[in-house]
Amino acid sequence: MTILTLIVYAGVTGVVLLYILLNLRTRKSNRLPPGPTPWPIVGNLPHLGAMPHHSLAALATRYGPLMHLRLGFVDVVVAASASVAAQFLKAHDANFASRPPNSGAQHIAYNYQDLVFAPYGPRWRMLRKICSVHLFSAKSLDDFRYVRQEEVAILTRALVGDGKSAVKLGQLLNVCTTNALARVMLGRRVFGDGSGGGDAKADEFKDMVVEMMVLAGEFNLGDFIPVLDWFDLQGITKKMKNLHARFDSFLNTILEEHRTGSGGASGHVDLLSTLISLKDDADGEGGKLTDIEIKALLLNLFAAGTDTSSSTVEWAIAELIRHPQLLKQAQKEMDTVVGPDRLITESDLTQLPFLQAIVKETFRLHPSTPLSLPRIASESCEINGYTIPKGSTLLVNVWAIARDPKMWTDPLEFRPTRFLPGGEKPNVDVKGNDFEVIPFGAGRRICAGMSLGLRMVQLLTGTLVQAFDWELANGLQPEKLNMEEAYGLTLQRNVPLMVHPRPRLAAHVYKSG
């Protein structure tokens, strides 16, 4: 046995002993929530499986709605019921207002200088205020309503133009949501017409967004076992650094175009122009805005504001195809309120309660972020009689909460009427006030773009319901449609939805939309 082997063996043995001692000491000194026994070194990482939100939901049926896990060397608490989630995100929200360290925030999101992963404090409040005032306020949303409606109309024309060919609906929806957001943020579209065309820069940008969502959904061992971070055994850190360099180059080009006046659009000032104008001005308590913060903010908005909306709408249409009577009921509401001579607009949404119920039920069964973005305990606290140690990571299993049989009748059934008068939950909303269904999170770190996301999902779903009948590709019957999930940062379909759109309105409606 060589000296090097002996050193490595001794090091590993020491780490194992240290882990066991720390684990025993913690469990004896604190009354931790129940949970499965952790393995040496890796802890409960093997318990997560390929679909962590499923695995954690199954564990909660055994250990209860408040669980303690040890992922590597990190204490993790999981909330799997509405009441427990409310304890963390309402009663103790201030204590869980920051994010735990993670490689994605470090290597992709400009080392925590973005909105999503920034520590809670003055700089985060400044970024949040900028988004609230300049992008997500009611006035801003109304000012750019025409952009969303134009992009949705472009999508309907693309669907009509495809004729008899089957389309991959999720891909077209992603083009639509990304272009709508890009026109508000940058003053221009970044994709082509949705048919697969577009310039090289647009194609490269699309590839980068897809790669970012894949990497963000990976479990990086180095985040939980620090000694492994340096080795980058999975190659994730290297991929993140390469992706960051490409994104940074892309965003630098956009910034330079705006400064020289070659970017943007006429009529309305885009968000990036506003951010650049704020760069030299103190905005609130956080000080001046930097170039890095501007780029990090743009990165957040593209990552969080496109894929989440498009995947939710894809799930909604899949459910309506499986439940044709619900589709017919929604179309009847459209024909009565909107009529057959124009496409739905955002001003119609408040008059379409069944459509709103369909969207709520989709958010319930298919939340775009099944495990909420993690938070960290700033101080030790007590929840339901258990000790939550300082530095613990909090995961809220949004997916499990929305399928809790103690809170929902027939929770696995797609039943929009549960949100209508006479249903079981007529007054429940999805805006973070009712913890039975919190697709956007809750508390201080609730999704900043919730209002925009709701509008976009409702408008897209409503338009697809009003303008088309839907048939599955290859003669597949609705009851045979694959509804399995593919785990990632966002809850995608395991098998993309391939459909034939059949126009149900007069031809002139699609041309004038």
| Structure confidence at residue 513 (pLDDT) | 60
Sequence-ordered list of residues with C-beta below 8 angstroms from that of 504, at least 6 positions apart, any chain: 331, 466, 467, 468, 469
Which pLDDT belongs to residue 206?
A: 67
Residue 338 CB neighbours (<10 A):
18
Return d(Cα 393, Cα 4) in angstroms, integer: 36
CB 462 within 8 A of CB 429: no
Cβ-count burial of 58 within 10 angstroms (0-12 exposed, 13-18 middle, 19+ buried)? Answer: middle
The predicted structure's pLDDT at residue 13: 45
DSSP E strand boundaries for 99-189? 167-168
Give, for all 513 residues of the chain, the pLDDT tens digit. Answer: 443 333 334 444 444 444 554 554 444 457 999 999 999 999 999 999 989 999 999 999 999 999 999 999 999 999 999 999 999 999 999 999 999 999 999 999 999 999 999 999 999 999 999 899 888 999 999 999 999 999 999 999 999 986 678 999 998 998 899 899 989 888 888 777 544 444 566 567 667 877 887 787 778 999 999 999 999 989 999 999 999 999 999 888 888 888 776 555 545 678 888 888 887 664 444 567 889 999 999 999 888 888 889 999 999 999 999 999 999 999 999 999 999 999 999 999 999 999 999 999 999 999 999 999 999 999 999 999 999 999 999 999 999 999 999 999 999 999 999 999 999 999 999 999 999 999 999 999 999 999 999 999 999 999 999 999 999 998 999 999 999 998 777 888 999 999 999 999 999 999 876
Q: What is the rounded CA–CA span in Å between residue 79 and residue 91?
A: 14
pTM for the structure as a whole = 0.90
């379409």: which residue's tokens? 352
Secondary element (H or E) of residue 199: none
- The number of beta carbons lying within 10 Å of the beta carbon of residue 421 is 8
Distance CA 46, CA 54 (A): 13
Task: Determine the Cα–Cα distance for residues 53 and 362; give it in Å rounded to an integer.
Answer: 17
d(CA 96, CA 24): 25
Nearest to 215 by CA among 252, 251, 241: 241
Alpha carbons 421 and 435: distance in angstroms, whole number:
19
Burial of 9 (0-12, 13-18, 19+ CB in 10 A): exposed
Alpha-carbon distance 432 to 447, whole Å?
Answer: 9
pLDDT attached to residue 163: 64
With a CB cutoff of 8 Å and minimum separation 6, the contacts of 345 are 145, 149, 459
Tokens standing for residue 207 = 């590839």
Domains in the chain (CATH in brackets) are 31-512 (1.10.630.10)
> How many CA atoms does the CB half-sphere of 444 hold within 13 Å?
19
- Name the phi and psi angles at 352, rounded to 5: -125, 75
> Measured between alpha carbons, how far is 164 from 474 in angstroms, rounded to an integer?
12
Question: What is the CB-side half-sphere exposure of residue 398 using CA atoms within 13 A?
Answer: 26
239 and 509 in contact (C-beta within 8 Å)? no
The candidate with the shortest Cα–Cα distance to 455, out of 120, 121, 141, 175, is 141
User: Which residue from 348, 318, 346, 320 is spatially nearest to 333, judged by alpha carbons?
Assistant: 348
The C-alpha atoms of residue 111 and residue 106 are separated, in whole angstroms, by: 4
**Residue 397: strand pairing partners:** 371
